[in-house]
Amino acid sequence: MRKNIFKGKLDVYLFNLKEDIQETTDIASEQPELVKKMESIFEQEHRVSENNRFKMEAFGD
């Protein structure tokens, strides 16, 4: 998951929802390979929105 994308923050957060339903503990640093895979999927699947309101400068839109 990413937070504050519209503010240019592209950090990836990862939570164990089975044990942390309130998403209080980011475990991304414990799973670097999974985070790399997630980032690859984000990049591969991103499409520029036709609606200017949803274009994201942080992604080069």
- How many other CB atoms are there within 10 angstroms of residue 35's CB atom? 17
* Each residue's pLDDT tens digit, 1-60: 666 666 666 789 999 999 999 999 999 999 999 999 999 998 898 888 888 877 777 777
What is the Cα–Cα distance from 41 to 3, expressed in whole angstroms? Answer: 17
What pLDDT, on the 0 to 100 scale, is given for residue 8? 66
More confident of the two residues 19 and 61: 19
What pLDDT, on the 0 to 100 scale, is given for residue 55? 77
What pLDDT, on the 0 to 100 scale, is given for residue 7? 66
What pLDDT, on the 0 to 100 scale, is given for residue 18? 97
